[in-house]
Structure 1
Amino acid sequence: MNIINDDDMKNILVTTCDADSKFPSNYTAALTWKYLEEKQPALTTIYQSPLFYNWKLDSLSFITRVTGLLRSLLMLGALIPFNINTMSIFSFSLSLAKKGNFIHPGYQMDDIICLIRWMGVTQQRLRISMIPVPVVSGPTSGETIETEIMEWARQARRWTIGAAEVFHYFIIKAKHIPKIAAFSWGFVFIIYYGVLLCSAGLFNFASTISMLVLVKNVPPIITYIMYGLFGLQMLTFLVAFIIDAIIVRLINVHEFIFILRNIFHFISTPFVLVAYSLVELYALHEVVIFGKKVCKHGASAKNILN
């Protein structure tokens, strides 16, 4: 039996993925090129392709589609550039996997768990490098709109509970990570999962309602600032829809979405974000009350995928 030497492990790349993944034919070539171009950073870098959920996405409800578009945007604009975490489909060297004792299957968000553990064994914050090829991942789905929304909520709840479990794991393991690396990663993790995903939508909704109903004689400058922030938010959402219009051509996916339906989806985006935040708020209270008992990996249905 041949055993791979430690020196040779840096020449072997491992990719983990979900069953509902469609890889482009040039994924391996793009990964290899990126790895060699960066001088084989075996113990410092994890590789992530941007994920897009355009697997029959045009046949699903606005809630599922808007969520998929925003997830892709957040991966491109936050998760990868700020080295927060990999998601579902990522690649790494065999030497890093061995040094970090591979991937722990006992956690539902094992991709982030292994990132934390690997930061401890390498004694540094790991960099996430983007592979310049998109990968298609399957969105949640159901036989009817009602079941689809139920599966969407189930997925959002599971992700939130998983993020809470990850943060608990991080707090325990942080003592094994250099202080600056632990603080910087923990800070961006809280900003992304705690503020951006959970709190931002609810804060915007509550502040808007209070300005319209409760607060009287609002100074004009405050009104202008509120409208400006709302416009900036909608502009950000527009970027997600523009990326979607471009990416379907790059990945050769045929979608047909009438322009009025697309406009409706765009207008509904802040409301979907509020609904998502409400599910997250509920899930966080579940974790607080029931603890580890709710930390289970219940996969969402994806019945329309074939």
Structure 2
Amino acid sequence: MIPASSSSSVTEVPDTGVNAAKLEAANRYVRWNLLFLLITFNFLLFPIWMPLVPYVNQATNIVIIITISLFQLIWLIATICAIRRTLALNKRNKLKTQKSQDVESSATTTHSSIRHIVAMTLYKEPMTVLQTTLDSLTQQKDASTRTSVIIGMESATPEKESKRSLILDKYSSKFLRIIITFHPSNTPGEIPGKCSNMNYACRQGLESLRQDPDYHYEKYEHIFTNCDCDAVFDPEYTSELETEYVKLDESDRHSSIWQSIIIYKRNSMPFFVDITGVLRTFFFMGILIPWNINPMSHYSLSVKLLEDGAFTHPAYQMEDIIALIRYTILSGREIRIRPLNLISINGPTSGSNYLDEIKEWALQIRRWTIGAGEVFHYFIVKTYRMPSLYLSISWATRFFIYYGLVLCASAIFSIISPIFVQIIDLTVAGEHENILVGDDIFQKICFIFLGTQYLFLLVVTVLVRWCLPVPGGSDNNYNRGFKGVVRGLVHWVLMLPTILAYSFVELYSFFELAFRGKDVCKHKAASKNNLVLVKDSGSS
């Protein structure tokens, strides 16, 4: 291990320490996430007030039908995108299997001028979780000669010195370099969490590599991978990443982020944790990547783009949600999310008992939601620095559709508003004419929408549970066989109630952010004490 140094080139960069405090102070009391909440909440309210307004109430039914139709259209587009990505994943997997049977063609091309840097952070997570991630990285091609690992710990990490020694003893010989940093606590302008820890670890780690005379940093082109400590990489992750990287010219290489498709697995999961994981995988394939909104969990980019984008912002809590827009603003060019046609495994939330499972599940949703609200604020404050007005409007629209409508408002609106309208019409609003769509037809159309929504969810279930080429066949015991099929179908029925509960947690979180402001923006790490990842990461 090369000790991390603290040169001036690291500490004088914006967005660290007191400089981050200065950046944040200017916008501490004007929180643009309020606009996000205002639009979303007013959208949810109009089925309540609209039936009470004379003349306007005549259009209530048709407006609700049009709105739910638009939600269904979004689901249709997302489903088509997810099917296309699933076909691409299976095509690559089939070609890989064919090549592995041909000794000559199975030899992958090595790009000797490229080296990899993988960074992750560690706080209170069990060492077994981290070791699963490091073990999957040791399976990458030429990991001992071409891959360096940066592990950022907090200064308050329990037993940090013993953890450091264990990591170095077990893995020093398996990677080109292992760099372990300790992020200082209570740095002005920073909030505790992965963003500030990763920001510090990357700056110190890259400086260490540059100062290492035996590493010869300037001779190589570097690809950086940001990941959680509970990630299990496909054994061909770095090889596939290199293949896609070298296909692009220099300009595109440094304006791209590569995202693998992530599934969320552990040995046993409550239905709501399992369903949330399935939906997140679907949204990776159907919305986040094709709509170019943001990377998630672990992703890769050139070190040049990482540095042009000033690493991660230590005053925000979700470095993945903020990544694309931050790198676009600070690099001055549009950034493209590009898919990697392989699957990685992440650990979902976990708890010590069922009540704890619910608590951790809700806390994770809360973190994502507050993080999304903070990113929207960051975007509005910095939008004048976007490369173009069109890009600003386009990204803000896509971001709001996903985080404001798809994840928060659509389920509540589609399920609750038809019921509310009928109750209000019967109790308060009284009789009135309806334009085009009477109450009987309105009820029938709403039931049709319920059926089509479940049809979309069935496609989601089939795609994610039974059509994705999971590495090593590690999904066989959970989703295959009679028990797996029955469980999958039962969870399919429970999907809509789970989405509805998810949406209410999101709505509550937006209100919490509105009332408590920056004080609620703390990244309390998710509990992983009871997390048992699927360990088999061999190639399928």
The verdict on a shared fold, with TM-score over 0.5 as the criterion, is yes
Instruction: Check if 1:75 corresponds to 2:301.
Output: no
- CA contact 2:234–2:471 (8 Å) conserved in 1: no
Corresponding residue to 1:283 among 490, 509, 528: 509
3-state SS, counterpart of residue 489 of structure 2: helix
Instruction: Check if 1:37 corresponds to 2:257.
Output: no
- CA contact 1:43–1:122 (8 Å) conserved in 2: no
Q: What CA distance in whole angstroms lies between the structure 1 residues aligned with 2:282 and 2:518?
A: 31
Q: CA deviation at 1:173?
A: 0.9
- CA contact 2:371–2:521 (8 Å) conserved in 1: yes
Q: CA deviation at 1:116?
A: 1.7
Could you tell me which residue of structure 2 aligns to residue 150 of structure 1?
Answer: 359
Deviations 1:200-229 (A, max 9, x none): 111122124236655569544423432332
Deviations 1:151-205 (A, max 9, x none): 0001011111111111111111111102111111111001100011010111122
Corresponding residue to 1:228 among 437, 448, 453: 448
Q: What CA distance in whole angstroms lies between the structure 1 residues aligned with 2:314 and 2:242?
A: 26
TM-score normalised by the chain length of structure 2: 0.53
Q: What CA distance in whole angstroms lies between the structure 1 residues aligned with 2:523 and 2:341?
A: 30
Deviations 1:11-37 (A, max 9, x none): 321000000100010000111111122
Gaps of 5+ in 2: 1-210, 432-437, 534-540
- CA contact 2:321–2:371 (8 Å) conserved in 1: no
Gaps of 5+ in 1: none
Further displaced range: 188-197 or 173-182: 173-182
Instruction: Check if 1:52 corresponds to 2:279.
Output: no
Q: CA deviation at 1:109?
A: 0.7
CA distance 1:213–1:158, shift in 2 (3 Å): same
Further displaced range: 130-139 or 47-56: 47-56
Deviations 1:232-284 (A, max 9, x none): 22122112211222236555213335233322211111100110111111111
- What residue identity is the alignment partner of 2:526? S
- CA contact 2:309–2:327 (8 Å) conserved in 1: yes
Further displaced range: 162-171 or 213-222: 213-222
- CA contact 2:263–2:346 (8 Å) conserved in 1: yes
Instruction: Check if 1:203 corresponds to 2:413.
Output: yes
- CA contact 1:15–1:89 (8 Å) conserved in 2: yes
Please show how residues 84-95 of structure 1 align to structure 2 within 5 Å. Answer: 84-95=293-304
Q: What CA distance in whole angstroms lies between the structure 2 residues aligned with 1:170 and 1:117?
A: 8
Corresponding residue to 1:266 among 492, 505, 526: 492
CA distance 1:256–1:52, shift in 2 (3 Å): closer
- CA contact 1:160–1:280 (8 Å) conserved in 2: yes
Q: What CA distance in whole angstroms lies between the structure 1 residues aligned with 2:222 and 2:448?
A: 50
Q: CA deviation at 1:39?
A: 3.3
- CA contact 2:343–2:470 (8 Å) conserved in 1: no
- CA contact 2:366–2:506 (8 Å) conserved in 1: yes
- CA contact 1:125–1:185 (8 Å) conserved in 2: no
Corresponding residue to 1:255 among 466, 469, 477: 477
Instruction: Check if 1:17 corresponds to 2:227.
Output: yes
Tell which structure's C-alpha radius of gyration is larger: 2
3-state SS, counterpart of residue 50 of structure 1: strand
Q: What CA distance in whole angstroms lies between the structure 2 residues aligned with 1:211 and 1:104?
A: 44
Q: What CA distance in whole angstroms lies between the structure 1 residues aligned with 2:445 and 2:334?
A: 37
Deviations 1:33-89 (A, max 9, x none): 111223352222111111100232xx1111101111001101110000000000110
Q: What CA distance in whole angstroms lies between the structure 2 residues aligned with 1:251 and 1:36?
A: 27
Q: What CA distance in whole angstroms lies between the structure 1 residues aligned with 2:237 and 2:376?
A: 31
Q: What CA distance in whole angstroms lies between the structure 2 residues aligned with 1:112 and 1:90?
A: 11
Please show how residues 291-306 of structure 1 align to structure 2 within 5 Å. Answer: 291-302=517-528, 303-305=530-532
- CA contact 2:310–2:330 (8 Å) conserved in 1: no
3-state SS, counterpart of residue 341 of structure 2: coil
- CA contact 1:124–1:181 (8 Å) conserved in 2: no
Further displaced range: 284-293 or 117-126: 117-126
Q: What CA distance in whole angstroms lies between the structure 2 residues aligned with 1:289 and 1:211?
A: 29
Aligned-pair Cα RMSD in Å: 2.1
Please show how residues 212-227 of structure 1 align to structure 2 within 5 Å. Answer: 213-215=423-425, 218-227=438-447
- CA contact 1:104–1:114 (8 Å) conserved in 2: no
Q: What CA distance in whole angstroms lies between the structure 2 residues aligned with 1:105 and 1:42?
A: 26
Q: What CA distance in whole angstroms lies between the structure 1 residues aligned with 2:253 and 2:486?
A: 48
3-state SS, counterpart of residue 119 of structure 1: helix
Corresponding residue to 2:318 among 91, 100, 109: 109
Q: What CA distance in whole angstroms lies between the structure 2 residues aligned with 1:37 and 1:220?
A: 57
- CA contact 1:96–1:118 (8 Å) conserved in 2: yes
3-state SS, counterpart of residue 25 of structure 1: coil
Q: How many matched pairs?
A: 301
Could you tell me which residue of structure 2 aligns to residue 99 of structure 1?
Answer: 308
Could you tell me which residue of structure 2 aligns to residue 191 of structure 1?
Answer: 401
3-state SS, counterpart of residue 305 of structure 1: coil
- What residue identity is the alignment partner of 1:16? N
Could you tell me which residue of structure 1 aligns to residue 87 of structure 2?
Answer: none
- What residue identity is the alignment partner of 1:226? C
CA distance 1:23–1:105, shift in 2 (3 Å): farther
